[in-house]
Amino acid sequence: MDLIEHWNTAYTARAEDALTWFEATPAQSLRLVRQHLPQGGALVDVGAGASRLVDHALADGAGAVTVLDLSDTALDIIRARLGDAATRVSFIATDIRDWHPDRVYDVWHDRAVFHFLTDRADQERYLATLSKALAPAGIAILATFDLTGPETCSGLPVQRYSPQTLAATLAALAPGQFAPLASEHFDHRTPKGNSQAFQVSVFRKLA
């Protein structure tokens, strides 16, 4: 399957606010980013899609914001929405497994990318990139479907996690690099009113 084509199609087949992952305001992500991003700090939102997190980060005074997604169609939605403010954002259309960051970030935010990586080698590549991208003592916010969440998303299989199994995965695949700080559960309501169970875990980079 061509994943770029898959996700570009997803963003053209339906209106943005009809997509199951749509959030008019990404309240939980925004709260955690505000909690951990220092004033003027650098944020990367991986798998950003057309999320509005970047809008709020700019308004809050983030020093540098990068949005990364497979879908350039999704990133174009952000560009159009931001208008002139888009010049303050770095847009990267690539597969997270192939990304070589050229700077470090204070906060890495991932609402739902890692759970699509069901292969151990892909998970290791993701975590290697995460380690390179985070500044010393940087924060990674990783949200995935919970153990009771959906088994697929947009027709693709996912790996579900509890906070404990996610922490164990990071410890096994990137030993000594990340310390779990906090975790919580939340139910995302889709535009059709269905509930999707997520867990979100916060890690600090140690190495």
88 near 64, Cβ under 8 Å?
no
CA-based angle 20:115:42, to the nearest 5? 90
Rounded CA separation 40/43 (Å): 9
The number of residues making up the chain comes to 207
pLDDT band at 178 (very low <50, low <70, confident <90, very high): very high
| 21 assigned to some structural domain | no
Domain that holds residue 163: 3-14+27-205
The answer to whether the predicted template modeling score (pTM) of the entire model surpasses 0.85 is: yes
| 22 assigned to some structural domain | no
pLDDT band at 14 (very low <50, low <70, confident <90, very high): confident
One-letter amino acid of 200? V
| 162 assigned to some structural domain | yes
Which tokens hold the place of 142? 């990783």
- Look at the chain and report how many structural domains it folds into: 1
CATH code of 59's domain: 3.40.50.150
Mean pLDDT of the chain: 94
pLDDT greater at residue 192 or residue 144: 144
72 near 50, Cβ under 8 Å?
no
Q: What is the pLDDT of residues 142-168, one digit of tens each?
A: 999 999 999 998 889 999 999 999 999
Q: What is the pLDDT of residues 1-11, one digit of tens each?
A: 688 787 778 78
Nearest to 108 by CA among 46, 25, 199: 46
Which tokens hold the place of 184? 């919580």
